[in-house]
Amino acid sequence: MTIISSEVIEDVKQAHNQRYVREKHIDHLGGEHFYFYAASMGADVNVIMLNRVSQVEATLISNEIANLIGMVESGKLSPLDAEPAHP
């Protein structure tokens, strides 16, 4: 899974010198992945967002592996079908 697009979609000042931030990351299949957090007023939310991309990709890969394992264990998928193609 690869993230092809990331953007800060909300950055709103809150009480106590904080900001409410929402990020949207889009994977290569068009799936949208959202992250919400509070940031300090001086935080560079674009850097935070870009640093999160590798975490999002790792989570997507882990979830896909777990899904495939579950399908094999339940008999919905043959183990041979779950193996990646080799060139």
Domain edges within the chain? 3-76
Helix (DSSP H) and strand (DSSP E) numbers for the chain: 2, 3
**7 contacts 45 by C-beta, under 8 angstroms:** no
Give residue 82's pLDDT: 62
pTM: 0.78
In angstroms and rounded to an integer, the radius of gyration of the C-alpha atoms of the chain is: 18
pLDDT at 80: 73
What is the pLDDT at residue 87?
53
pLDDT along the chain (87 residues), means of 10: 94 92 96 96 95 95 89 83 60
Say if residues 53 and 3 touch (Cβ distance below 8 Å). Answer: yes
Query: What CA–CA distance (Å, rounded) separates 19 from 22?
Result: 10
